[in-house]
Amino acid sequence: MTAAVAPTPATSEPLLKIRELDKHFGPVQALYHVNLDLPLGQVTALCGDNGAGKTVLTKCVAGIYQPDHGQVYWEGHPVHIRNARDASRLGIETVYQDLALADNLDIVQNMFLGRERVRYGLLDEDSMERAAAETLASLRVTTVRSIRQPVASLSGGQRQSVAVAKAVMWNSKLVIMDEPTAALGVVQTKQVLDLIKRLRDRGLAVMVISHNLTDIFQVADQIAVLYLGRLVVQDKASAFDRQSVVDYMTTGGSSRIVGARTETN
């Protein structure tokens, strides 16, 4: 189900490459010449102030928005991601801030929504239930009482876990998470961060959008910062400290030198 993708050394071709991506809405230039690399087996934190373009960039990769210019490369090949189905066909799964779970459906229905397993033209509930249970177990999500309970009855951390499980169940190679810890308490935040590390250990590429610098420095292997639609820096996490990330987020540059760092754009 969730066969581990062989971890690739960071030096090889990144899983997803974004080159010169532009996106505007009317007169507003939301993204400008964005370059970003997402390698396998690494957690990339995408930071930026409100309105920096984090969500727009995510949605361009997830197929919700179409970029105006620029090119996305998947495993080295140029691709056009026209909709959510295209993205999931490639192996890109997004966990949205609002989690995109339907409250009225149960856990299994949510995990398979839009990609239901059918047998003789009918829903194959047994097989879906088994796969959902396996995935949850493999991510060590054990606090859920029944996988047949409606999502409405779950806690915030459980909902996040279900959303992540839904994302990794599809042999995905890239999981994008938008503010995964924003609404969570201390214990639940730790659970979700552990979950993110587990995804990386499986060899997946993970992109985490977050404001929370504590969380970022706990899980990120590399950090990229968006400032007013421009990707101002991308480097390994050890090249930053909290202050330098804040500098990039608020001013688009930093005079602090922590480690070897290459500024882009």
Partner 1 sequence: MSVAGTQPRPSPAPRQAGVAKDERLAGVSILARLLQRPELGALIGALAVYLLFATVDATPGHLFSSIGGMQNWTDAASTYGIMAVAVALLMIGGEFDLSAGVMTGTSGLLLGMLITRQQVNVWFAIVAVMVFAAIIGIANGVLVVRTKLPSFIITLGTFFVLRGVDVGVTRLLTNTVRFDISDQAPGFRSAQSIFGSTFLAPYNFQDAVLWWAAITVGATWVLTQTTFGNWIFAVGGDANAARAVGVPVARTKIILFMYTAMSAAVVGIMVALRFKGIQSGQGVGLEFFYIIAAVVGGCLLTGGYGSAIGASLGALIIGFAQIGIIFANWDSNWYYTFLGVILFLAVGVNTLVRRRAASARR
Residue choice 4, 28, 113, 137 for contact with partner 1 (CB under 8 A): 113
Residue 100's φ and ψ, nearest 5 degrees, are 50, 45
Q: Is 143 in the site for partner 1 (CB under 8 A)?
A: no
Can residue 135 be called a binding residue for partner 1 (CB under 8 A)?
no
Q: Is 94 in the site for partner 1 (CB under 8 A)?
A: yes
Q: Which of 65, 74, 96, 240 binds partner 1 (CB under 8 A)?
A: 96
Judged by CB under 8 A, which of 13, 116, 201, 263 binds partner 1?
A: 116
Rounded least distance, CB 251 to partner 1, Å: 34
* Binding to partner 1 in span 54-93, by CB under 8 A: 64, 83-85, 88-89
Q: How far is the CB of 187 from partner 1 (least distance, A)?
A: 19
Of 25, 123, 143, 251, the one binding partner 1 by CB under 8 A: 123
CA angle 244, 247, 252 (to 5 degrees): 120
Alpha helices, DSSP H, located in the chain: 54-62, 84-90, 107-112, 125-138, 156-168, 186-201, 213-219, 242-251
4, 28, 102, 137: which one binds partner 1 (CB under 8 A): 102
d(CA 134, CA 256): 46
Among 26, 50, 114, 142, binds partner 1 (CB under 8 A): 114
- 211 three-class SS: coil
Specify the stretch interacting with partner 1 by CB under 8 A; choose among 8-16, 69-77, 144-152, 194-202.
144-152
| Whole-number Å distance between alpha carbons of 47 and 205 | 17
Q: Which is nearer to partner 1, 146 or 250 (CB)?
A: 146
CA atoms within 13 A on the CB side of 182: 13
263 DSSP β-pair partners: 233
Among 35, 97, 138, 153, binds partner 1 (CB under 8 A): 153
Distances (CA, A) of 216 to 189, 206, 240: 12, 12, 11
Count Cα neighbours of 183 within 13 Å in the Cβ-side half-sphere: 12
Radius of gyration, CA atoms only, the chain: 18
Task: Give the footprint of partner 1 on this chain (CB under 8 A).
Answer: 1, 3, 64, 83-85, 88-89, 94, 96, 98-105, 109-110, 112-118, 121-123, 126-127, 130-131, 134, 146, 149-150, 152-153, 166, 169-171
